């Protein structure tokens, strides 16, 4: 159930810096290690990538790890599409595909309705 998903497109995007990079922890190798983990365990759709960039949503490696933990918990409960709330950011994630579908920051959360989800995880 927790087998990693191979995703060459995410790896390519990470190399080309088209995916939100984790905040620098001071160690280039730490960021590279995290990028490898992210590419193997979680995809970010083009739509979500656009939302992350246009809304200037930046998440560090610790936040992404919390998202991954939340997705794993949702999967264990049989969730298919989940709203993952982390700090002031909401992510809609396809649990089956391990793909972030969209991202919303606190400023854009007001009056938003999230549809087609069967669970919510607060991490």
DSSP codes joined into one string, 39-62: HHH-EE-HHHHHHHHHTT----HH
* Percentage above 70 pLDDT, the chain: 68
What confidence tier does 25 reach under pLDDT thresholds 50, 70, 90?
very low
Mean pLDDT of 21-35: 52
Domain ranges in the chain? 8-122
Q: What is the CATH number of domain 8-122?
A: 3.30.2310
pLDDT score of 74 more than 90: yes
What confidence tier does 75 reach under pLDDT thresholds 50, 70, 90?
very high
pLDDT score of 17 more than 60: no
Mean pLDDT of 84-90: 95
Mean pLDDT of 60-86: 95
Mean pLDDT of 101-116: 89
d(CA 33, CA 42): 14
Q: Report residue 55 as tokens.
A: 């809304």
Are 55 and 105 contacting, i.e. CB atoms less than 8 angstroms apart?
yes
What confidence tier does 15 reach under pLDDT thresholds 50, 70, 90?
low
Dihedral pair phi/psi, residue 101, rounded to 5°: -90, -40
Counting Cβ atoms within 10 Å, is residue 84 exposed (0-12), middle (13-18) or buried (19+)?
buried
Considering only residues 120 and 18, tell me which one the structure prediction assigns the higher pLDDT: 120
Q: What is the mean pLDDT of the chain?
A: 80
């Amino acid at each position: 159930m927790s087998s990693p998903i191979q995703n060459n497109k995410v790896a390519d995007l990470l190399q080309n810096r088209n995916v939100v990079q984790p905040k620098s922890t001071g160690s280039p190798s730490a960021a590279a290690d995290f990028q490898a983990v992210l590419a193997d365990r979680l995809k970010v759709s083009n739509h979500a990538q656009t939302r992350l960039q246009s809304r200037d949503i930046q998440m560090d490696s610790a936040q992404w790890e919390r998202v991954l933990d939340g997705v794993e918990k949702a999967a264990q409960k049989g969730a298919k599409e989940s709203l993952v709330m982390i700090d002031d950011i909401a992510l809609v994630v396809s649990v089956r595909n391990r793909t972030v579908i969209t991202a919303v920051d606190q400023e854009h959360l007001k009056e938003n309705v999230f549809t087609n989800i069967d669970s919510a995880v607060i991490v």
